[in-house]
Amino acid sequence: MLSTTATALNSKTKAFVLQFRDVGITDIPLVGGKNASLGEMLQQLTPKGISVPDGFATTAHAYRYFVEIAGLEAKLRRLFADLDVEDVLSLRQVGKQARSLILQTPFPDELQEAIVTGYQMLCDRYGPDTDVAVRSSATAEDLPDASFAGQQETYLNVHGVQGVLDACHKCFASIFTDRAISYRQIKGFDHFNVALSVGVQKMVRSDLASSGVMFSIDTETGFKDAALITAAYGLGENVVQGAVNPDEYLVFKPTLKQGFQPILEKRLGTKEIKMVYDLGGSKFTKNVSVPPEQRHQFALSDAEILTLARWACEIEDHYSNVRGIYTPMDIEWAKDGVTNELFIVQARPETVQSQKVQNILRSYELQQKSNILVKGRAVGEMIGQGKARVILDVHKIDQFQAGEVLVTNRTDPDWEPIMKRASAIVTNQGGRTCHAAIIAREMGIPAIVGCGNATTVLQTGQEVTVSCAEGEEGRVYSGLLPFEVKEVALENLPYTRTNILMNVGNPEEAFSLSAIPNDGVGLARMEFIIANQIQAHPLALLHFDQLEDELARYKIAELTAQYEDKAQFFVDKLAQGIGTIAAAFYPKPVIVRLSDFKSNEYANLLGGRQFEPEEENPMIGWRGASRYYDDRYRDGFALECRAMKRVRDEMGLTNVILMVPFCRTPEEGEAVLAEMAKHGLVRGENDLQVYVMCELPSNVTLADEFSEVFDGFSIGSNDLTQLTLGLDRDSSLVARLFDERNKAVKRMIANAIATAKQHNRKIGICGQAPSDYPEFARFLVEQGIDSISLNPDSVLKTLLVIAAVEAG
């Protein structure tokens, strides 16, 4: 006699229809991954507050019974006998014939009756002629890298018994869509071993609200601590199919679980159309235009974003526990415009990033050489190529095309919008620490600086290869030369007592950079975020109504269209940018340097000229600490403080350490700390540490006094070298004299490290030297430095040097 469990299992496998609440994740062979997952969530996650619309599923047995009773398999096998999926015409013809065969074959009475009974149960719960979504769900076992997502059809706003029967029939036929046939063939699945289940689920009235897709992992980088949510108005098919450009939201999962509100990014989509019910029309749904005022609003509130992100965490944790392996999830959600409730309507394991190999190091090598056109200092150990684009005036950067090689005299923050689109950068002026070099490193593109004659030798449209993979000298070669990119697995890397940190400025790269072995971030620069994401001078935002520059006023109005309070735009964007970097490396320390634009760079921001003085030498003028407590800028600094307070207090990213640049005296340091405290950033409260840049001779000679004011030091070897040797590091005339290895500079650094150690203060370095010179890294380790912050492309090679030094 069969046991009760065996009897229940047998009745399940022979049923034509199963209610969602009666199936779980182990029932994929019966009802497919999509429907099994809905049942799993209804059973296990609705008690945790996650809302899932109810429904039922036809079973694999029902599909196979239909095929068998009608004698369809033999006919279908004959159709597929000579199929070549590479032949598009043949694929199209076979698919059409297979679908017609199924659609022309009526359902057996017993199957039809089971579907009708299932639908009537839904109507009993939700009302007569309940509107439902009818979705296909392929059934096959062991699908770690094959989701079958989107291969079969979905029908929305289906209502009435006949409508549901017709939609189920079409779903059965859609097992033989052209794309499904091709997908199975490529993945190695037998067409006749895969069955089809149909899920019939109560519709969520998102046609009156919004819907979208979310992942419990960052889809671009595979960073597993972020949830990515997309949202658009109307039914979710437009988002799933890519027919609309949705809003995007990024939420940090670890501190979200601790009760914080870590929305790292909110990116507005165009959301030009929405899918709605076709009431009284000939179709179930239709697309309509979204009113302009709605397009310029986010489709979700912050509270809704956080709720969805929490649900993504719950779903991911549940499936990871069930499967016994970390399982990032791909989830569809919808908001009901009648009740304003949020619902999860699908969830499946993510199948792209979770399959990728992690910990790979890339190196570049030229396979062939040609005529060298120009030479200069190499930045980054990569190779880039493309057509040259010579631009001498920043006002003509709109001529630049993505993938070109930017050739210019020199760059400043105004050039950054096109720099990130360049395949490489070549400049006449500058040394290894000029703006072009710093930004190129952060963006992971090769640059050659200080060439002297690049803009006269190179011509717009000329094909060139830019090689920075041949040592300190960078070379621009004629033509598009072949090169090889080698990948090395990062295994068995040595441990170092010296902490290896990274310099990171671009939030968009933070998640991918965090995969490089590291102990945190030694320098996160605000300037990149201000120049690229904010673009406007903080005082121009605070005093928007008094702006004299009409063009700047117009551009700021465009940028801040969603903000009545223009200054809040600055706070939001800066908090999101820094928050993203802090989240990428959490819980490791992230040292954030407060803004360090020079007055001429601030003036180049939108509306900036009205608020900035003209200085003969901005490099050693009104910059860094001296601005923060000055009546002419303190209101602008207050916005930075508000943003950093949000990162630490609201997002929960207390791994952020703040750092004051260009602080000339200990008294000035105390004035800055007092200014920060006015805005809730009190050193010592909520574990807040504040460091100071050690980049002036006064920082070294008075290191003992600075130790009383700050928690630690970070040596800025670029400025320290400049001011110790008395030269302008941006001047190509004296660039050859700029060398951190100079005895005077090394003695300064040695003294700073010794004094910091005597006063029990942390001291690291975030300058360029250890990235470029292995012998300089060796010198720092021998002095007992606590940490070395490197450009991402230098981390691994320098780590090996440091490990060797420490090993003796």
Catalytic amino acids?
435, 766
Closest by CA position to 397, among listed 412, 411, 418:
418
Residue whose C-alpha is closest to residue 600's, from 433, 414, 728, 449: 414
Q: What CA–CA distance (Å, rounded) separates 183 from 573?
A: 42
Q: Is the dihedral of CA 544, 546, 549, 550 positive or negative?
A: positive
> How long is the chain?
808
The label of the residue with tokens 């019910």 reads 277
Strands (E), 210-299: 210-215, 226-233, 247-252, 263-267, 273-277, 285-289
C-alpha 1/C-alpha 502 separation (Å) is 68
Helix (H, G, I), strand (E, B) or coil at 786: coil
Q: Which residues of 104-141 are buried (b: 16+ CB within 10 A; e: fewer)?
A: ebebbeebbebbeebbebbbeeeeeebbbbbbbbbbbe
Helix H, strand E, coil C: the string for 581-640 is HHHHHCCCCEEEECCCCCHHHHHCCECHHHHCCCCCCHHHCCCCHHHHCCCCCHHHHHHH
Per DSSP, what are the bridge partners of residue 790?
502
Cβ count within 10 A of residue 445: 23
What is the Cα–Cα distance from 427 to 409, expressed in whole angstroms? Answer: 5
Alpha-carbon span 294 to 272, nearest angstrom: 9
The three-state secondary structure class of 173 is: helix
Scanning 271-375, the segments in alpha helix (DSSP H) are 292-295, 302-323
